Amino acid sequence: MTEDWARPVVHFEIVARDPGRLRSFYSELFRWDIAEGGLMSFGAGLGGPEPGPAGHLSRGDAGRVVLYVQVRDLSESLEKTKMLGGRVTADPFQLPNTPTLAAIEDSEGNPVMLVQQ
């Protein structure tokens, strides 16, 4: 067995009823350079060591923040999620040009995306 390691946040998503208004809020508050359009991307390295996590804004029915956390083994992490009282909401999947992802809810129902790079 290999030595354990910290699971870094590798991406985040902020969902808003009014993404344009939230784009202005985060741009002004944190001086983030956020693109316009349907998926309002912003680059890595904001407020931390390079390259740091990147992120995006998207439209949704309710505001929320989704953390994307890197894990070594999705299967193991999904089993541990259930053991700890969480819930798997999407089995592992991969979008074009992305790492493998899976969605969970923590024991409070907060959404988290697991990322296996």
CATH topology for 1-62?
2,3-Dihydroxybiphenyl 1,2-Dioxygenase; domain 1 (3.10.180)
Class level of CATH domain 71-117: alpha beta
Per-residue model confidence as pLDDT tens digits over 22-78: 889 888 877 788 899 888 888 765 544 456 677 888 998 988 888 888 888 999 999
User: By the 8 A CB rule, do 27 and 21 touch?
Assistant: no
Query: Half-sphere exposure of 30 toward its Cβ, with a 13 Å CA cutoff?
Result: 12
pTM: 0.71
Q: Do domains 1-62 and 71-117 have the same CATH topology?
A: yes
Distance CA 32, CA 50 (A): 15
